[in-house]
Each structure stands twice: as structure tokens, then as C-alpha cells.
Amino acid sequence: MSKKPFGVLMAEDVSHDIIATQRAWKKSHILNPLYIVKDGEECLDFLHQRGKYCDPESAPRPAILLLDIKMPKMDGLAVLKHIREDEELRRLPVIMLTSSKAEEDRLKSYDLGVNAYIVKPVGFENLSAAIRTINLFWELVELPGGHHEFK
């Protein structure tokens, strides 16, 4: 694609899922930088560039958020609610990438304005295929503001 790479933030607390996603990212030769946070509070700190993420160079505003539901300190649904209520963040595309198959979680996510709800595929090859598809889709989509820098 000819578009400039865009940052992706992943909020995930399970080390195995983080490592598998990073491997899939590398295997798929995805040029978009992937940033990782491990709980809901850390996710909001990154998005608001506060605390250990106050340096915009190390915590640039992502163009997309991959968000898990079940995380410590603050779950993904609470993070999503905060994002959609925040004037600066509300247009951030959010993909719920979770192991939860619960209809209640899926419906609540969409009620709160998630852009997509994806149940994490089982197995590395399936995860890699899902990561490639997610990346390709968002490379084709015009992100808020008509560019690949979330503002």
C-alpha cells in the first residue's frame, strides 16, 4: 500500500497472546508500528500521553486500538466507554480482539461504539491470517480526518 504506516495500540494482558501477535506482525511484514499496553489504565495513560507515556515520541497517538475485554485494573468495556465519551478520542477506531464469545460482551461492545468485534482465533496460523486481514482492511479504510494519523 502507498499510505504512510500508522501506529496500532494493542491492550492485552496475556503474554502468550502478545508474543503471538508480535510474531504474526513480523511474519506478515506489517510496517505499522505496534505498541503494547497490559491493562486498561495503562491503555488510557498511553492514549492521553500521561505518566510514563507523557513523551509523544514513545507514545504517539495510534490510528487504531486493538482492545481486549478481560484485563486487570480496568476492563476493555470500561476503556471503550471512556474513549467514546472523550471528545479527543471518540473517533479512534477500536477493534475488540478478545477470547470472549459471550453474546453479552459482544452486544455491550457494539452498544458502546466498537468498530469491530473479533474473537481471537485459535492457533498461530489462524491468528496470523486474522492479523493480516485486520491490517489490510485498515490500510484500505480512510481513517478519521482522511489520513492515517489519529488526531
Per-residue pLDDT, averaged over 124-151, amounts to 74
Band (147; pLDDT cuts 50, 70, 90): very low
Residue 80 is part of which domain span?
8-140
150 lies in some domain = no
What CATH number corresponds to the domain at position 18?
3.40.50.2300
pLDDT tens sequence across 83-124: 999 999 999 999 999 999 999 999 999 999 999 999 998 888
Q: Considering Cα of 20, then 11, then 53, then 86, what sign does the dihedral take?
A: positive
Number of domains present in the structure of the chain:
1
Band (3; pLDDT cuts 50, 70, 90): low
- Between CA 92 and CA 145 the distance in angstroms is 10
Q: Which pLDDT value is given to residue 141? A: 76
Q: Which pLDDT value is given to residue 2? A: 46
- Between CA 5 and CA 8 the distance in angstroms is 10
- Between CA 88 and CA 86 the distance in angstroms is 6
- End-to-end alpha carbon distance in the chain: 22
